[in-house]
Amino acid sequence: MSKKQRTRKNKTTKKKSTTPIVSKILLLIIIIFIIAISALKVSEFIVFRQENSFPKLEISLKKAPIEQINGGEKSTIYKENTVSFTKDGQTTDYDNVEIKGRGNYTWLLPKRSYQIKFSEKHELFSLPEAKKWILLANYADPSYLRNDIAFHLESLLENPYATSGNFAEVYFDKHYNGLYYITEKVEINKNRVNLKDPLGVIAEIDNLHNTDETCSLVARNGECLSIHDSVNSDNSPEGALDFLNKFNQLEFAIAKKDYALIEKIADIDSFAKYFLLSEFTNNPDAYSSSFFFFMDGPDDKIHAGPGWDFDMSLGNKIWTADGVEYEAFLSPSNSMILKDHLSKDKIVDLSSPSHTERISSIVYDLLSIPEFKARVKEIYQDTLSGKGDELLDYIKNQADYIRPAALRDQERWKLKTNFDDEVDYLIDWVAKRYDHFEQTYGANSSTETPGETIPDPAPESQPPSKE
């Protein structure tokens, strides 16, 4: 065999030996490509399933687009809308639904809160049926969880009228509007605050948003009171006067430290529970706005609660207040909200712009009475003590549940906060707060208030944009 023939044969052999390798590489690339496509489709399916398994409230607006509703007065009622509520794959449709805006500060934010009203009473999330439901945007709460945690705490405190709610994603005219917390409304209803006397009322202290021109009832100590709801609207003025008179009697009895008289006028346990709820959550709005009371006619006592409006509570770092040390809202060891900023002898000045000059002192003054303070400790030990792990597990489970929806909401509203960091901070804050309450009100607590300690700073993140 010649040299030329041998060379040709070697080249032919080499070509035959490389062909299977190239084929294998191409086959491997194809397999990898197929796997990648499959993984992408699986990922898309998971996202699709998450989006479609999470509760959904779809609102079709008939009279005005959502942009017009947001640009108008929050009190304007828009009728004849339709709502579809989907949960666990089951969809229920409702016609003739009213919608309007709600909130004070929150109505000024880009993502708004709303109230919807069905033409008949219906259940949502297996909660007792009612016509009115509140859609809380939680735009100022980067964890989305603070209202839910507070309502859960109120149920642990065994308040018979504790508010309940659940999460759902809301759409307006098929456009995604984000993650909402759909809750019961504080109102008179056999399934909510069950009042029966024709003169029964729910009243509210709102020293923050009312002025001396708009305040309908002014208490003896200068508090701004209003009637939030009444059993019979025709009897509302008479019921309001009955409540105002009894409220003035209560304030007088507290000023005199006449505990026997206080017990005749007020439901002591409800005030103690309101204090524990407000203090545990360190809610800056607790004693100035959305401070609810109810009274089932003139022969009933005054009851404090239910609690409401907790998006700024539980160490929310977004909150600031004129004239108040920032740490006063963030310290899990703070024993009494704004106690160092509240003058007991100060009459509420409704024309003052300062938040601290509009704080109601009624609970603050009750705490100066030993019998009330002792009852606070008893109720804490009977309800919340020993439930720290249960509370933290509840927060973790709720955070895991809403996480995919929370991330979609952050993308929708272009929020810069890190959801996981915010949840970690919230869990740490609650854990420290709970330890402080165990030391202060638990079975082994001392009579002295533990020293103040400031928690670790919240994670660095941008507050929601107002643009």
Q: What is the model's pLDDT at position 245?
A: 96
**Phi, psi dihedral angles at 285 (to 5 degrees):** -90, -5
What local confidence, expressed as pLDDT, does residue 451 receive? 40
Give yes or no for residue 464 having a pLDDT over 80: no
Cα 248 vs. chain centroid, distance in angstroms? Answer: 31
Name the band, by pLDDT with cuts 50, 70 and 90, for residue 339: low
Q: Are 146 and 310 in contact (CB under 8 A)?
A: yes
pLDDT at 326 (0 to 100): 59
% of the chain exceeding 90 in pLDDT: 63
Domain boundaries, the chain: 56-184
Rounded mean pLDDT of the chain? 84
Position 34 scores a pLDDT of 74
* pLDDT, mean of residues 325-339: 65
Q: Give residue 356's pLDDT band: very low, low, confident or very high (50, 70, 90).
A: very low
Integer Cα distance of 255 and 233 in angstroms: 33
Percent of residues, the chain, with pLDDT higher than 70: 78
Cis peptide upstream of residue 142 (ω within 30 degrees of 0): no
3-state class percentages of the chain: helix first, strand second, coil last, to nearest 5: 40, 20, 40
Q: What is the pLDDT of residue 48?
A: 42
Instruction: Give the residue-averaged pLDDT of 304-309.
Output: 96
The pLDDT of residue 344 is 42
Lowest pLDDT segment from 62-76, 168-182, 307-321, 326-340: 326-340
Residue 185: per-residue pLDDT: 97
Q: Is the pLDDT of residue 351 over 70?
A: no
Q: Express each pLDDT in 434-449 by its tens digit.
A: 999 999 999 888 655 4
